[in-house]
Structures are given as structure tokens and as C-alpha cells.
Amino acid sequence: MTQRSARAGGKPGLSQTSVCRIALRVPASAGTSGEVTPGLGRYVGFGLDGRAPARYLKLMKFLDEAKVYIRSGDGGAGCVSFRREKFIEFGGPDGGDGGKGGDVVVECVQGLNTLIDYRYQQHFKGKTGMHGMGQNRAGGKGADALMKVPAGTQIFEEDGETLLADLTEVGQKITLARGGNGGFGNAYFTTSTNRAPRHANPGQDGIERTVWLRLKLIAEAGLVGLPNAGKSTFLAAVSAARPKIADYPFTTLKPGLGVVRLGDREFVLADIPGLIAGAHEGLGLGDRFLGHLERCNVLLHLVDATGDHAGQVYKTIRHELGAYGAGLTEKPEIVALSKVDAVDAETLKAQAARLKRAAKRAPLTLSAVSGAGMTGALGALLQAIDEHRREAAAVEAPAWQP
């Protein structure tokens, strides 16, 4: 490891590849100060404070937030021109109008699930309209600047709070900045008293602004839990998705989606990176990925049966959801013990009792490896999704009028 690091950077230590693959679990007494939930320990490997360094995050090819500078095109200037032709004594003004500047348009397209393209291009500018010409020729319109985004993208003002648009369906379009109008040529200003105007208008300036793009994946159900709680294994077992699965924490570095089929029904399930105590303060990968659960109708909370105190683990995740806000704690929740095939009956009974006291409901038990309890968990998810759809339809249905 030292030789590989020396070749890469000239200093002994962990290479960038090694940092990506290492996440240690250290007791709370070893390292940083501050209170940690007993039995959970603290996940490090990103830094002594538990935060992921910038070089670690750069390895991820998933981007759900981007800051973009846009500017619409200026309008073309009007033309000052007079008809000068043989045998035409009084030709008169014939200056054409300028063309309109190009708009900046955002379109929701199919086939995208990340904003990674906006890491390499942050400036989008519409083309300037063509200037007017003689012989009453108007200038052409400037080309629009088209920004393609995936479904679920929200557009905010520069303050990051004022919502401009929420694109949830493929084909939706919105014009963020309209191009400037073209200026009038001198032929426009001809009147009965001014037969030969010698002035024209310049084109209007375009609009420039800075906006934020934020992607919130569209899924009907979402998975939450600590790292290594079995979320990615669950997603791989019930759908055709193939997330990375390994026996160390923070294997999942980006959200994933899978289409789950149960009988003749199907729904979309989202998996996000695991949360740890202090995630809302930036520990681990932080809580930034929780935004992808805001659109979910129901959450499946997986608690590892082979871990420490199941009740404390459950309370830790609920605390992080509450610290994030956005109504995640108010969403319907299904609680389940995962990896039940890896513990004996006595341990399973004790963990189920702890989780029941903490969640105030009887948890489901399942194993994504053996398949035990999977159909029941999917059925519970589908039932919660159907109930949410009925409630939404009742709210949206217009009142009957004679």
C-alpha cells in the first residue's frame, strides 16, 4: 500500500483508490469528542471527524445538485437603410428589424438519472439575434440554449429557496430566461411628417441569472437504515437493479432505483446511502441524499438483526430523519428486521422485542438472501402505496356540481 501511494502522490499513506474502499468502525472512545449513541460507534475512514473529504466525493459519478449560470441572447439591432436604386427618385427608408435573442430552455428528457453533465458545463447562453438589413430584411432569431435534465429536477433561484419549477414528467419544458426583442429598423418609424427617419432601435439586452438545479429521484417507496443494514441487497433481490454489495460500510455511494414487481403490480423503489449518528452535522456522507426520499409515499426502515441494540439503532435513524425535516418523519413507515437468517432464534426474539418497544409496533422479519419474509414486506409496501394513491385521488377530485 505504501509503495502504491508513493508512486501516485510521492508520499506514503493511503492512495485515492484505497480511501474509496476503506470505512472503519471505531468505538466512540477512540478519537473525536462528542456524544455518540452507545453501541453504534463511529464510522471513519473519511477523516478523523467522520466527514467525507472532497477527493472522496469526487469519485462518485452521481450528482444531484448543480449551480448554473444562464444568459439569454440579446436582440439584434435595427437597421438604418434607404432604398437607392436607379430610376427610383424617392426610395425611402427600408431598414429591417433585428431578430429576437435566443431563450434559455430547460427540458425534462428520458434516459438521464443524474446531473453529472453540469459538473463540466455551468454556463449556458442563448445566441444573439441577427441584425436587421436593408431592403426590409429582418434579422433571424438567435438559437436557444437547451438544458436537458432528468425527471424529478427542481430549479431554484440563486438563494436556493425560491422554487422556479419542478419538472416531474418527461417532455415538460420551461423557459428560464427569454431572449431580448430585436430593435426596430428605420422603416418602422416612417410617418406622414417624418418620411426619412435616420434612427433605429438597438436590440434589448438578454436576461442573466444564476439558478440551482436539484434532483430528487421519483420513487414510490424508499429504503432507510444504517450502513450495512441490507438495503442494497434488498433492492437487488426484488428488482433487476444491481447495486454494489460488500461487507463494509458505505458501500452505496449514490442513490439507486429499481422497479419491483409483485404479481401483476409494480412500483419504483429507491435506495440511498446509509445514515449514521450525526449525519445531519455532516458525518459520514451526511444527510444530503435524504432529499431523494421526499417524493416517496412510504419508507421501509431496515434494522440489522446482527447489529447492536435494535431499538437504539431505530431511534438514531428516526432522529436523523427528524433533524433533516421535509416531513420525512410523517411519512408512512414499515419497520423490518433484516438479515434474520444470520442470527439464532434467541437473538432474533430479543432484537425484535427491542425494536417493537422503540417503534411501538411489531416489526417485520426478513432476509434478502434466503427470501424469508420478502413477499410480506413487498405486500405491505404496495398496500401503503395504494392507500396513499386513494388519498391523493380523493384530494384532487373536483367537487361534483349540477
Q: Cα separation of 375 and 385, whole Å?
A: 15
Domain presence at residue 380: yes
> Does one domain contain both 231 and 274?
yes
Contacts with 143 (C-beta within 8 Å, 6 or more apart), sequence order = 73, 102, 126, 127
Counting the structural domains of the chain, the total is 3
pLDDT of residue 5: 39
> Does one domain contain both 158 and 299?
no
CATH number at residue 157: 2.70.210.12
pLDDT of residue 77: 95
Q: Cα separation of 340 and 348, whole Å?
A: 7
Domain presence at residue 282: yes
> Does one domain contain both 237 and 374?
yes
Which DSSP string do the residues of 69-131 spell out, in sequence order? EEEPPPPPPP---B---TT-S---B-PPPPPPPPPEEEEE-TT----GGGGT--EEEPPPPPP
Domain of 39, in residue numbers: 2-57
> Does one domain contain both 193 and 330?
no
> Does one domain contain both 243 and 210?
no
pLDDT of residue 223: 86
Amino acid identity for residue 53 in this structure? P
Domain presence at residue 399: no
pLDDT of residue 32: 37
> Which of 190, 215, 240 marks a domain boundary?
215
> Does one domain contain both 325 and 384?
yes
pLDDT of residue 397: 57
For the beta carbon of residue 34, count every other beta carbon within 10 angstroms.
13
pLDDT of residue 37: 39
pLDDT of residue 283: 66
Contacts with 79 (C-beta within 8 Å, 6 or more apart), sequence order = 95, 96, 97, 98, 131, 132, 133, 134, 137, 185, 186, 200
> Which of 191, 215, 239 marks a domain boundary?
215
Domain presence at residue 268: yes
pLDDT of residue 30: 37
> Does one domain contain both 235 and 195?
no
Q: Cα separation of 171 and 232, whole Å?
A: 31
Domain presence at residue 402: no
pLDDT of residue 287: 66
Spans in the chain with pLDDT lower than 70: 1-62, 248-249, 280-288, 395-402
> Does one domain contain both 340 and 315?
yes
Domain presence at residue 279: yes
Domain presence at residue 329: yes
> Does one domain contain both 168 and 203?
yes
CATH number at residue 326: 3.40.50.300
> Does one domain contain both 232 and 95?
no
> Does one domain contain both 22 and 146?
no
The helix-helix angle for 345-359 and 310-324 (nearest 10°) equals 30
Q: Cα separation of 178 and 75, whole Å?
A: 10
Domain presence at residue 401: no
> Does one domain contain both 202 and 274?
no
> Which of 215, 247, 275 marks a domain boundary?
215
